[in-house]
Amino acid sequence: MEFENPQGHESPELEIERERRKRAEFEFKTERSKREAAQKAEETKQERFGENLRRELASTGYTFHVDDGELKTLIEQTSKAKFLVRETGQFVVERDGTQISLKDVIEGFALTHPSLLQDRSQIAHLVKPEHELSREDFPDVASKARAIAEKGIDWWESLPAKRVAKIPADLETLTKETYLALSDRHKASLGLTERQIGFLLYHGTLKNFKK
């Protein structure tokens, strides 16, 4: 036989169960809010990182056929470089615990993966013989500044402003047009005699030149 509470109050067991459910619901909502906040913070962090990465990559002067995210993944997969992203979206690049410049990382990747470059001439200043260089071969302000710091302003100003025609390995294939497009420094590097120069300018080629 059940007895009613004469004062109309719930039994202690029901009150305890109600409080337990309230606490469980509160804890569930709190954890859900934490997860949502963490997810939102991560999304914001990655969005800001993407913007910063895009801006920093653009400043290197190199452009690739893959998007920024894939480029980052390829760099981390093919080298020991790691991108460490802060909560603000700012980042640094490290290799073996030492911070390195993104410019150096991208430059190294471009040299080892030239097929991924949108324009291979972007690495011309790194792979061309010095006597074939022009100021146009340096893709950005940083590479130009580095060249001037290493070689001097006189060396820099001696470079032709525009990209020069590639000097053929075999002088017999050298044409008058190619020769005239070269800077004085490039012409001198060919070591042509006055007779060869005269023959080239008159005939347009050195193919039938007899020493």
Amino acid, single-letter form, for residue 17: E
Question: Which residues, 6 or more positions from 174, have their beta carbon under 8 angstroms from its beta carbon?
Answer: 167, 168, 190, 200, 205, 206
Q: How confident is the model at residue 1 (pLDDT cuts 50, 70, 90)?
A: very low
Q: What is the pLDDT of residue 2?
A: 46
- pLDDT at residue 122 tops 90: no
Burial track 142-171 (b if 16+ CB lie within 10 A, e otherwise): ebbeebeeeeeeeebeebbeebbeebeeeb
% pLDDT > 90, the chain: 38
Q: Could you give the C-alpha distances from 128 to 47, 110, 150, 190, 204, in angstroms and in order? A: 38, 14, 16, 16, 26
Bridge partners (DSSP) of residue 205 are 175
Contact between 75 and 30 (Cβ < 8 Å): no
- pLDDT at residue 140 tops 70: yes
pTM over 0.75: no
Kindly report, residue by residue over 20-41, the tens digit of the pLDDT: 888 888 888 889 888 998 899 8
Residue with the two structure tokens 């993966």: 113
Least confident interval from 7-11, 19-23, 143-147, 167-171: 7-11
Residue with the two structure tokens 């420094």: 185
- pLDDT at residue 166 tops 80: no
Kindly report, residue by residue over 186-211, the tens digit of the pLDDT: 788 788 888 889 998 988 888 888 87
Mean pLDDT of 180-189: 77
Cα-flanking dihedrals φ and ψ of residue 162, to 5°?
A: -105, 155
Q: What is the pLDDT of residue 3?
A: 46
